[in-house]
Amino acid sequence: MSLTMIGMLLTLLAGAMSGNCMLPAKWVRRYQWENVWLIFSLFSLLVFPWVLGLSLVHHLPSVYAQLPMSAFAAPLLFGAGWGVAQILFGISVRRLGMGLGYAIIVGLGAVLGTLVPLFLGQRRLVSDSATTEVVCGVTVMVVGIALTTWGGKLRERSGMKEITGDVPASAYAAAVLLAVLCGFMAPMLNYAFAFGQQLAVQAVALGNSPVRAAYAVWPIALLGGLIPNITYSFWLLRKRDSWNLFRKAPRDACWPVLMAVLWMGAFALYGMSSVYLGTLGTSVGWALFQIFMIMTATLSGVLTGEWKQASRAASLLLALGMVSLIGATALLAAGSR
């Protein structure tokens, strides 16, 4: 089996885990959103990245000690920007509805997360034909995302009142701008990984394999994302006085921990797959990760009955979107060879 195929299979598994990482939240009984999010953030952004880093990267403290402070700036700052985007995502979807909010944020995040590393860090290392295939793949991916979210929006309309129907025009425009801002910031976690490779290079210099060395980046990048997420959770816990739910429903804590296992596991696999995918690992790999995440999340929705009452038009748009995403996968795979 080729290294590219191994990378794609790992990315597929990562997308499946990421696309379903919020599923355990359905079984939370008493916790409010902020209770769930605080536990999820602490485990996914602090505990698990450091456990994986210290377990898999030999001499991790020495790796960090031998690097200048400037090497940590990019992954920390980009990680913090992504952390803010996590909060804005929830607000945007609440104001715009899942259909439009998801289309803007995921679409922009997928495009920028793929093309920025490509043109700022990898363009000189790949041929013009490979670049063309990647750009075409991204274009088809955007079409697939648009069709899928359009179908999802029609499904929502058939089952409930349109979320934004009574929102004033000025508030709606502000919500769209907020979603666009979130879309620009959402791929910053990939920037943190792509532009934090000095940490991985240093880990290789100290005897780690490239696959293991990738785990040296995540503790720093995700530490940046931890700060805005726990700050927002603490603010909501205080505002809503929901601290006592931790004591009243301790069993609910199991579900956000499971969410964190799935989420961190997905990004750990994505880090490995980027190595196997070669030069374009952090650009093509990101696009494939987004595609597989959307496809598996949608498939889970179909299997759990979310599309049972959908109209024929909604189902057709969903099918066309899935076909487009499969086509985008083929183009991106060709560009990564």
- Per residue in 288-331, pLDDT (tens digit) is 888 888 787 777 777 777 778 788 888 898 889 889 988 888 88
pLDDT at res. 121: 63
pLDDT at res. 157: 67
Query: Which of 252-266, 267-281, 317-331 is most confident?
Result: 252-266
Is-contact 22 187, C-beta < 8 A?
Answer: no
Is-contact 276 4, C-beta < 8 A?
Answer: yes
Point out the least confidently predicted range of 61-70, 81-90, 97-106, 203-212: 97-106
pLDDT at res. 302: 79
- Domain range holding 199? 3-336
pLDDT at res. 251: 93
Q: Write the DSSP symbol of residue 197.
A: H
Alpha helices, DSSP H, located in 249-280: 254-276
Residue 251 to residue 248: CA distance in whole angstroms: 9
Please, which residues have CB within 8 angstroms of residue 266's CB and are 6 or more apart in sequence?
14, 15, 17, 18, 21, 293
Q: Is pLDDT of 167 > 60?
A: no
Higher pLDDT, 118 or 157: 118
pLDDT band at 92 (very low <50, low <70, confident <90, very high): confident
Query: Which of 53-57, 108-112, 158-162, 264-268 is most confident?
Result: 53-57
CB-CB neighbours of 170 under 10 Å: 8
**pLDDT per residue over 119-149, tens digit each?**
776 566 667 777 788 888 888 988 888 888 7
pLDDT band at 152 (very low <50, low <70, confident <90, very high): confident
The total number of structural domains in the chain stands at 1
What percent of the chain is predicted at pLDDT more than 70? 87
pTM of the model: 0.79
Residue 66 to residue 59: CA distance in whole angstroms: 11
Count CA atoms within 13 Å of residue 85 on its CB side. Answer: 26
**pLDDT per residue over 1-43, tens digit each?**
677 788 888 888 998 888 788 888 889 999 998 999 999 999 9
**pLDDT per residue over 209-218, tens digit each?**
988 998 999 9
pLDDT at res. 258: 96
